[in-house]
Amino acid sequence: MVDPASSFLGKMLLEEITPVVMVLRTPLVEEACLKNGLTFVQMLQPFCVFNNIDVPVRTVSDQPYRLHKFKLRLFYASDIKQPNVEAAEEHLKEVVTRAAEKDLSDLSSDPPQLDDLLAMNSESLPLWFKIFNKELIRTLSFSEHEAFDHPVACLLVVSSKDELPINKFVDLFNTNQLPSLLNDGVMDPKILKHYLLIHDNQDGSSEKATNVLTEMRSTFGMNDCRLLCINSAKDGSEERIGSLWTPYKTDTSPSQDLGCLLNVNDVSEIKDLMQDLSSKHIIPHMEQKIRVLNQQVSATRKGFRNQIKNLWWRKGKEDTPDAPNGPMYTFSSIESQIRVLGDYAFMLRDYELALSSCRLLSTDYKIDKSWKRYAGVQEMMALTYFMLDQSRKEAENCMENAFSTYLKIGSTGQRNATRCGLWWVEMLKAKEQYKEAAGVYFRISSEEPSLHAAVMLEQASFCYLFSNPPMLRKYGFHLVLAGNRYYMSDQKKHSIRTYRSALSVYKGNSWSFIKDHVHFHVGKWYAFLGIFDVAVKHMLEILACSHQSVMTQELFLKDFLQNVEKMGKTYEVFRLQLPIINMSSLKVVFEDYRTYASTAAANVRESLWQSLEEDMVHSLPMSRSNWLEPEAKSSKKDKDSNVCVVGEAIKMDIEFKNPLQIPISISGVSLICQLFPRSEVAECELTEKDAHAHPYESASGEKNDAEELRKLTSNWELNSGVSSFALSEVVFSMRGGETTVVQLTVTPKVEGVLKIIGVRWKLSDSVVSYYNFDSDHVKKKNIKGRKKSSQSSSKNLKFVVIKSVPKLEGCIRHLPGKIYAGDTRRLVLELKNQSDISVKNMKMKISHPRFVIPGSLEDLNVEFPSCLEKNSNSEHNDVQPSSSKQPKSSLFSFEDAAIQGGTTFFWPLWLRAAVPGRISLYLSLYYEMENLSSEMKYRIFRIHYDLEVLQSLDLSFQISPCPSKLQEFLVRMDVVNRTSSENLQLHQLSSVGHQWEISPLQPNEAICPLQLLKAGQALSCFFKLKNCRKSSMFEGSISFHSLLQGHDVRLGPQGSDKALFDVSGSALADFHHHERLQQGKSIQGQQGTVDFILISQLPKNRADHGLEGQSDLPQLFSHHSCHHSIASTSPVWWLMNGPRTVHHNFTVSFCEIRLGMAIHNSSKEAISIRMSTLDVTSSDGQLSDVAAAAQDPISSENQGGWHNVSLGNDIKVTSDALGTQFGKSSSDVMAPFVWAASSSTRVELEPMSTTEVPLKICVFAPGTYNLSNYTMHWEVKLLGVPLSAGDRTRQLSGRSPGHPYYITVLQSP
């Protein structure tokens, strides 16, 4: 605990509460002094402070003690009055501004860091706070209600040059320019006077002066008069002593040297003048006065009697209306005297006495309700308590009491309250209760005008900083408050200062709201002061404020841009966060030996391409890595870096995200690259080295960022000049929260090593931001699927540029995006070769041969679709071989086609949409360079298309053996038009394979009645299929060629002479082959299958609305359905043959009819067959249950045959269906017949053999009879042959009802 006297407050009191000496002087005195650039008072000031005056004093109770430190305060009489408010305010403002001027210098420096703030202590506080506080207190001096500012003595000064100096002395005091304090009787006019005669040695010798002195002595008394000689210095001769005064001269200019005419003697003379004045006159006088007053006080107030009297007397004065500052007390009033007593005692350090008298007084004032005086006394008590260093609590209570009392009396006391507050704060500080001190500051601030409040708040904030533990958040908060107040009383520099130091608190923590606010305002104010660069720096901090409201965001952005503009030059930022770059989405597309037709193709997975290209690439001698060899020679490390070709652009997709909700405009987006020509690759290595020497990952600190920025900018400047590569520039604008991907390209122009360093963009044309890719690890999604993630991104963005090689570009002409299933058309593959070198032995691989197959060159110039028609020209014959051998491998090589430089090359492709759905076609085209000198021996051109295939027709076939002929079948075709809007015209149905021969049921009339099949319409029509092959052909193998021969049936309207299409012709045949392969997968090897091709067309009159409006309508639809087995589940076919009509005369007898049943065994094994005829009676039941078994086909039959049937080629069911149909109709059989022959016959049949079984029926009445009421039981005879897989699938025995056979018996006339 420090001794109060040595505490700051103590020191302050010791020099602020000291005796005041009133100075009265004649103008000539002033004149004499001003020669030294000093007023009279100023001249004396340095000598009013005595650090060891050592005067013996006695307390009222005669205890002797010695005063050591002492101070006099000199004031001209004219200054002894309350300073008027405005002037005071001005003065204070002056102080503050001066302080601001001082520390403007470091405004441009970095704001203070937190830790060195914490290192601060109360000493390191800016000095001007103390000055300000002192000045603030001074504005209250010479108030009436307290006595320590009342003059203790009066110093009358007359110059020896005045004539009649004695009279001067007299009327100096009598003139009514005495301060109001003396005139209106607040203080005792009888005041200790001291007479001083000033003699200026420059006006001759001092005899005259000495005469005057003696005269004075005679008139005013011996020892109250004195002579002071000044200006005795011969100018320039003595050493300077001006330094004495400098601390006291605040305002004037230092130009004129102070006290130039004063020499050592003068100074010493002044010194003992003051010494005597204080020690011989003032102190004794005060001591004396204290004694007197004390006696009076004790006479009137001490002792019980006096107390009572006093109380009673005060009650008597009740009626006096209490003015705001209570009743008026003249100097003669006992209260004033006590007050004087107290203050004098305080000034002479007799604190006990001071305290006791203040106590006494406070009660009186309290009773009198003269609150101001009461407060003053309380204040005094507090100070004395403090100086006594007794109970601190008391001190604080008194101070608080005073404080609140002053506040209570309103505006007049408000400033006094502030003063109390300041005292109070100092007390607390002395006790290191900084937190409480801060609180008091805060209370003061709420009372004061904004400027003072600001200063108070700032001091409060420091208190929080110094409190233990430091309360940083409050520190920050109060700084912000202070800054705000400073701003209101426009002290911008101060507000900046405070906000800046507040920043250190909010730095890095997540209270973004506050941080933004602070940064924003600091920025604004800097801008106001015209320090734009710093302003912009602060604004930058808050640009990416996605958490703020839209309005705020706009505000921030607007101000930021304004400042940047004001700054004049374009501002360059490292990694501006607006917009944000999404590094993870960074993507580089470049073409080495792989070239792409479209970005779509580029985005396809590499593995997919590779799987497609495998045999294509490996089919040639050189291995994939060959093209790299020259590089390998030149430098090792190029091995792992990508290769690109001169003149071919490297594309980079960068994703920008706008964090704000407001639109921003970005311009001039382009890459920053470095290209080291082949000659200087070594140098490039060097840069690589040092790049790795200090990796960018550590580019976090300010320094590194600046460094980065410098590098980037320099590179950029290089870029703009350089001609070795070309950059693309992108301009775009983003809506709020939008994310856009932009593609930037760089096109190298010379060989060497190219590095993509970063990207640069302009935010709304004013701010340039640089972003370097190196510094964080780019997880580049590498298109070419090479495992590169292990390498550093800098490698990923490094390219070896090799000299230009030819590059094919091209597309597939008029390939529709949407297409109906079955649509078959001819496309053209178009390849351009820009370079002047020609490319040769090209190969092509197609991912879906079922959809696209390469045609032959001839197809180009024949017109479509007629080229497919059957016109017996030799053309399709020589296509056969090509088409026949092609489908073996889908690798197609253009025989010896070479594309000369600069030419364009066409090749036909056949497209057929095999199945509905979405498919993506991949074409990959391999070619080699003409000149093998180039580093790249071959390249691959990749084409990718997405195709959407819509449903068109779906058709199903159903084959059942013909009941009337062996080896003949009924084919039922069900077609449904599933298109949304198209009407289709069925054109032809062809069966593939020479052994099959399809024909309409009735050769002469058209099969399908209607012109065209409307959308959604279904149709089923019947054909006859004949197996025109000897049974021995089964195991015979036939050539593909002959297999392709087909038979066609023209569908559509009668007599349409349109040419049929040749299904065995080039394209269709190939497609059919692929179809077979495809559909064959589902069906396991079964012998005896047949394929159908249905060809349909759009009606001619329909050119108006295309599929997607484009000119080329689908002209030809070919639908292939394959592998329709004709092999029935029952290996036996039988046929009843006999007469159809019989004439018989029933009057004679019943009629016997002989019939024969031909049975054929179509299976490979011997079969035993039992045919059992049934009686009519039992036949009913048999029929009925079959009918039940075959319910649904009938019911669906009733709907006029519009339905589709499952492709299941199960003869049994259908035969049942047939049987039942006739069974139903057999209900109109009138009279029964009986089987005349044995009711059951058994035959053994060798494989592939036919036998004839005789039958006989007896008919008793004429009519039509259905001889279907018999059943065939058959059983495969296995001669110890184990079942083969194929066998297991078919059943080994079965029973089938008889086929209907109608016989009509007529009564013969």
358-368 burial, b at 16+ Cβ within 10 Å, e below that, comes to bebbbebbbbb
CA atoms within 13 A on the CB side of 507: 13
Closest by CA to 107, choosing from 542, 573, 538, 559, is: 538
Q: Is 1093 helix (H, G, I), strand (E, B) or coil?
A: strand
Q: Is 274 helix (H, G, I), strand (E, B) or coil?
A: helix
Let me know the angle formed at the C-alpha of 1155 by 1152 and 1158, rounded to the nearest 5 degrees.
Answer: 165
Q: Nearer Cβ to another protein, position 476 or 752?
A: 476
Q: Nearer Cβ to another protein, position 303 or 737?
A: 737
Q: Nearer Cβ to another protein, position 661 or 967?
A: 661
Query: Which DSSP category does 310 fall into?
Result: H
Q: Fill in the amino acid letter for 1287.
A: D
CB of 478 to another protein, least distance (A): 9
Q: At 1139, list the tokens.
A: 């007469």
CB of 777 to another protein, least distance (A): 23
Measured CA distances, 578 to 141, 499, 574, 810 (Å): 59, 25, 11, 39
DSSP line for 685-747: HHHHHHHHHS-GGGTTSHHHHHHHHHHHHHHHHHHHH--SEEE--EEEEE-TT-EEEEEEEEE
Q: Nearer Cβ to another protein, position 513 or 1040?
A: 513
CB of 954 to another protein, least distance (A): 44
Q: Nearer Cβ to another protein, position 435 or 1041?
A: 435
Query: Which DSSP category does 234 fall into?
Result: P
CB of 542 to another protein, least distance (A): 13
Closest by CA to 1162, choosing from 1220, 1242, 1245, is: 1245
CB of 474 to another protein, least distance (A): 5
CB of 506 to another protein, least distance (A): 8
Q: Fill in the amino acid letter for 788.
A: K
Measured CA distances, 355 to 71, 283, 338, 384 (Å): 21, 20, 11, 6
Q: At 319, list the tokens.
A: 């009626």
Q: Nearer Cβ to another protein, position 511 or 1146?
A: 511
Q: Which residues bind another protein (CB under 8 A)?
A: 446, 464, 469, 471-474, 476-477, 480, 509-511, 513-514, 517
CB of 471 to another protein, least distance (A): 4
Measured CA distances, 1088 to 105, 1123, 1127, 1128 (Å): 104, 8, 6, 10
Q: Nearer Cβ to another protein, position 549 or 920?
A: 549
Q: Nearer Cβ to another protein, position 510 or 1032?
A: 510
CB of 569 to another protein, least distance (A): 33
Closest by CA to 13, choosing from 379, 527, 503, 484, is: 379
Collect all residues with Cβ–Cβ distance below 8 Å to 82 and sequence separation of at least 6: 140, 141, 142, 143
Contact present, 1167 and 1131 (Cβ < 8 Å): yes
CB of 520 to another protein, least distance (A): 11
Separation of alpha carbons 455 and 129, rounded Å: 8
Q: Nearer Cβ to another protein, position 464 or 969?
A: 464
Residue 1192's CB: how many other CB atoms inside 10 A?
10
- CA 829 vs. chain centroid, Å, equals 44
Measured CA distances, 383 to 51, 140, 377, 422 (Å): 22, 16, 10, 12
Q: Nearer Cβ to another protein, position 446 or 1195?
A: 446
CB of 502 to another protein, least distance (A): 11
CB of 391 to another protein, least distance (A): 22
CB of 431 to another protein, least distance (A): 17
Q: Nearer Cβ to another protein, position 479 or 543?
A: 479
Q: Which helix (H) or strand (E) holds 340?
A: helix 334-347
Provide the edge-to-edge strand list for the sheet that holds 580-589. Answer: 580-589, 650-657, 739-748, 725-727
Q: Nearer Cβ to another protein, position 227 or 471?
A: 471
Block residue for tokens 């679709």: 865
Q: Is 1142 helix (H, G, I), strand (E, B) or coil?
A: strand
CB of 300 to another protein, least distance (A): 47
- Beta strand pairing status for 752-763 and 730-734? unpaired
Q: E strands, 408-498, where?
A: none
Q: Nearer Cβ to another protein, position 435 or 1273?
A: 435
CB of 955 to another protein, least distance (A): 48
Q: Fill in the amino acid letter for 980.
A: S
In SS3 terms, 1201-1223 reads as CCCCCCCCCCHHHHHHHHHHHHH
CB of 498 to another protein, least distance (A): 14
Q: At 1115, list the tokens.
A: 């002209």
Closest by CA to 800, choosing from 632, 663, 683, is: 632
CB of 493 to another protein, least distance (A): 23
Q: Nearer Cβ to another protein, position 552 or 882?
A: 552
Q: Nearer Cβ to another protein, position 442 or 927?
A: 442
Q: Nearer Cβ to another protein, position 477 or 1134?
A: 477
Q: Nearer Cβ to another protein, position 321 or 469?
A: 469
Angle between helices 351-368 and 334-347 (to 10 degrees): 150
Q: Is 405 helix (H, G, I), strand (E, B) or coil?
A: helix
CB of 549 to another protein, least distance (A): 9
Q: Nearer Cβ to another protein, position 169 or 464?
A: 464
CB of 394 to another protein, least distance (A): 23
Separation of alpha carbons 230 and 126, rounded Å: 39
